Amino acid sequence: MNVAKSGYRVFSANSTAASTELAKKITERLGVDLGKSVVYQESNRETRVDVKESVRGQTIFIIQTVPRDVNTAIMELLVMAYALKTSCAKNIIGVIPYFPYSKQCKMRKRGSIVCKLLASMLAKAGLTHIITMDLHQKEIQGFFSFPVDNLRASPFLLQYIQEEVPDYRNAIIVAKSPSAAKRAQSYAERLRLGLAVMHGEAQCSESDMADGRHSPPCVRNTSGHPGLELPSGSKQQAPFPGIELPIMMAKEKPPITVVGDVGGRIAIIVDDIIDDVEDFVAAAEILKERGAYKIYIMATHGLLSADAPRLIEESAIDEVVVTNTVPHEVQKLQCPKIKTVDVSMILAEAIRRIHNGESMAYLFRNITVDD
């Protein structure tokens, strides 16, 4: 295809060769060449972008995969988007398969909702649309002032289970925590398999973390509870006289349990992100104790940080299957249990449909709210 006549161009905002592999696969499927640009870090770690061809009046797609150096990848994307904006590109569409900081989408005490901040920064830099995959929380789409297409990797992972997991009919889908139960239920219903949910002190669900904008803890009337008297010099104010404020009872998780029978079955744990793997390793050990004879883990984004490859290799986990939304070739060399599913096909089709003004509904067939 003649790129100049196609009306759109595809650029990669990554400065490392390993991170451009997904961009190359997408452009091969589209039949176009990757746009000419140079992205690099100067000696003082400042990001510099140089676009080597005219983009005036064209629709530009920026493919940005996020390696371990998350903050550098964000700056590369922001600087390239702004460079294209000032070069008079008509539309700038970010293809960000794994959206960084997506776990920081809720207020934690006196923290901040960093995901919202990043959404505002992308809009300010010039992006007009985003294509991403399996956001950690679907409500993140509401942070943006422009359209967001949140694609799903589940069809590719389901296909892998059907084609690559021997005797998958004898499998059971496992939710590592109650918060992952909806995703696991979706897989179980599509594969016509059973469902098990793990619950207990070994798992660390986000819903159990302190949430909301917490003021200093309220204090009961000191006349009734002398042990709660304010220390001298404290600026914390006591409640109005005569008011008794109830104190929230502290949570105490029960010993870890598995709701559902996994004995003599293949256990398939599904999640959206696998980063620190300690929880997955602990879950695999419990499932082995309960009689599961094989343990698979399916996740969209394989961040696999720190010692994850070594821990997986030494664990009871038989196989970890992730997509190529995040580069992880180094981790695969360290641990042969890690397998990759290519999702460049759906990303390329999304680019083609958006450029041609076609409906995206085809890419969301049979996708429900809970998927």
pLDDT digit string, tens, across residues 134-145: 999 999 999 999
- Alpha-carbon distance of 247 to 204, in angstroms, equals 23
What is the reported pLDDT for 22? 94
CB 6 within 8 A of CB 356: no
* Domain match, 287 and 333 both: yes
Q: Which of these ranges, 9-18, 46-55, 234-243, has the smallest mean pLDDT?
A: 234-243
Q: Which of these ranges, 12-16, 29-33, 98-102, has the smallest mean pLDDT?
A: 12-16
* Domain match, 131 and 262 both: no
* Domain match, 187 and 285 both: yes
Q: Which of these ranges, 114-123, 244-253, 280-289, has the smallest mean pLDDT?
A: 244-253
For the residues 24-52, what does the mean pLDDT come to? 94
Residues facing residue 38 across a β-bridge: 50
Long-range contact list for 202-209, CB < 8 A, 24+ apart? 202/256, 202/279, 202/282, 202/283, 202/286, 203/176, 203/177, 203/256, 203/279, 203/282, 203/283, 204/177, 204/279, 205/177, 205/178, 205/179, 206/103, 206/106, 206/179, 207/178, 207/179, 208/251, 208/253, 209/108
What is the reported pLDDT for 231? 55
Domain count, the chain: 2
**Taken in order 189, 191, 194, 199, is the CA torsion positive or negative?**
negative
Q: Percent of the chain at pLDDT above 90? A: 72
What is the reported pLDDT for 366? 83
CB 230 within 8 A of CB 222: yes
Residue 137, domain member (yes or no): yes
CB 107 within 8 A of CB 213: yes
Residue 183, domain member (yes or no): yes
Last residue within a domain, chosen from 132, 151, 170: 151
Q: Which of these ranges, 9-18, 217-226, 235-244, 351-360, has the smallest mean pLDDT?
A: 217-226
For the residues 309-318, what does the mean pLDDT come to? 96
Q: Taking 60 as the threshold, does the pLDDT of residue 99 lie above it? A: yes
pLDDT digit string, tens, across residues 177-224: 898 999 999 999 999 999 999 987 654 445 444 444 444 444 444 444
pTM (two decimals): 0.85
* Domain match, 139 and 87 both: yes
Q: Taking 90 as the threshold, does the pLDDT of residue 108 lie above it? A: no
Range of the domain at 144: 9-151
What is the reported pLDDT for 207? 47
What is the reported pLDDT for 5? 53
Residue 100, domain member (yes or no): yes
* Domain match, 85 and 139 both: yes
* Domain match, 68 and 159 both: no
What is the reported pLDDT for 150? 95
* Domain match, 30 and 136 both: yes
* Domain match, 163 and 103 both: no
Q: Taking 50 as the threshold, does the pLDDT of residue 151 lie above it? A: yes
For the residues 240-260, what does the mean pLDDT come to? 79
What is the reported pLDDT for 218? 47
